[in-house]
Amino acid sequence: MDAQMTNMLADIILIIHVAFVLFVVLGLLLILVGGWIGWRWIRNPWFRSLHLAGIGLVIIQAWLGIICPLTTWEMSLRESAGQTTYGGTFVSYWLHRLLYYEAPAWVFAVCYSAFGLVVVLTWVKFRPRPFGNDSPRP
């Protein structure tokens, strides 16, 4: 595969990674706002299950010290295309780039876990509808 195609694949993986992060972060924000103002769609069990699974995966990877496979894949493609790569995790890299923030890996694991706890608490406060029940819960 030529360098241009490899670079394009790395960019696609980066876009998917950003979309995943936005889904997890904005998803929680939408659940909280929607729960308070009564949006019924935030109780969709598919959306809520995927959201919970997404943050669950992040928490498990963080506590096990596993760098996200999307980061590894993207960096491997960039390296084979002759591009500069970054070290560490996707989130830590971009936090450093955007906020000049550095912290040990355990800090991110704790933050992800706290975020995950809030996601779990939304299941208690704003319960999703059961699967197969198309009538929205108030």
DSSP state of 10: H
- C-alpha 106/C-alpha 51 separation (Å) is 22
- C-alpha 18/C-alpha 14 separation (Å) is 6
In this predicted structure, what is the pLDDT of residue 77? Answer: 87
Classify 62 as helix, strand or coil: helix
User: With bands split at pLDDT 50, 70 and 90, how would you rate the model's confidence at 108?
Assistant: confident
What is the per-residue pLDDT across 12-51, written as a single tens digit (0 to 9) for each? 888 898 899 999 999 999 999 999 999 999 999 999 999 9
Neighbours of 51 (CB within 10 A): 23
Amino acid at 9: L
- C-alpha 66/C-alpha 54 separation (Å) is 15
